[in-house]
Amino acid sequence: MPAVYLETFDDGPGGWLGWESNMLGPKALEACDGAVTSRGPWWVDYNHAPPGAGYLHVLFALTTGRRLSEALRVAGGANRFIEQDMPRDFTDARITVRLRGELETRGAALCLLVQSSLNGVTVPWMLTGQPLRVAESWTRQTMTITGDESQWTFLGARHDRQDNYNHGDLADALRDVNANIGFMLFPINVVPMGPLEGDPHILRPVEDYPVWRSKLPDGYVMLDEVSIEFATGDA
């Protein structure tokens, strides 16, 4: 039988976490009553700034590779995806989530991100063709991991991250998602607060110049359950 990953968060975050910044790394999610919560304001992730696909907010992330740093262990707790030796072949998998929240999207959408390491670089693909809805009441929604590239956006990288992120074939990336998955708000509208000297995409928002938070998404999202039905049982 094909493998099924099920995380109900009844016993902690199960390896799921948020992200503080490139410098500070991962952070713990709020965990209460069998759910985890990601709450704004969120870090402005500039790793994929133009010439990449744009900026994003990291709400929920899960490491799928077999190696965990101490920072990941502290922030996310026991990673049950890794402990249960779940497959990393996401080809034709079905991902179902139960979530709720109150969210000012301001033009962004909550989408699945998958990242794989191919030939020594991270290959980031965002499933922008199947965004998740966030409502005040609980909803259960399912995404099908298709190999149709029209459903996806390749994120690329900013000028100084080209050695870290690069293009890779979507089918190859899905066959071995050996880095991480997550749910991100993308694209977000980064607007400098006041005059700015220099290219904003070369500089780092928030770190190098202030931004209008009123233009960015805000609110909270609660994740109650994540289920992944793999088309294959092979790890």
Please give the pLDDT value at position 233. 62
What pTM value is reported for the model? 0.95
CATH number of 9's domain: 2.60.120.260
Please report the DSSP string for 172-197 in residue order: HHHHT--SEEEEEEES----BSS---
CA 190 centroid distance within chain = 18
Residue 195 pLDDT more than 80? yes
Distance CA 38, CA 114 (A): 19
CA distance 20 to 104: 20
Mean pLDDT of 129-147: 97
- Domain of residue 156 covers 4-229
The model's pLDDT over 157-177, given as tens digits with 9 standing for 90+, comes to: 999 999 999 888 999 999 999
> What are phi and psi for residue 150, nearest 5 degrees?
-65, -15
- For residue 81, being part of any structural domain is answered with yes
With respect to residue 29, please indicate whether it lies within any of the assigned structural domains: yes
pLDDT-derived band of residue 234, with 50, 70 and 90 as boundaries?
low
Q: Does residue 234 lie within any of the structural domains?
A: no
Work out how many domains the chain is built from and give that number: 1
Q: What is the DSSP letter of 201?
A: T
Is residue 103 a part of any domain in this protein?
A: yes
**Which residues have CB under 8 Å from 166's CB, separation 6+?**
121, 122, 123, 157
pLDDT in tens, 8-67: 999 999 999 999 999 899 999 999 889 999 999 999 999 999 999 999 999 999 999 988
- Give CA–CA dist 75/69, Å, rounded: 10
C-beta of residue 157 within 8 angstroms of C-beta of residue 164? yes
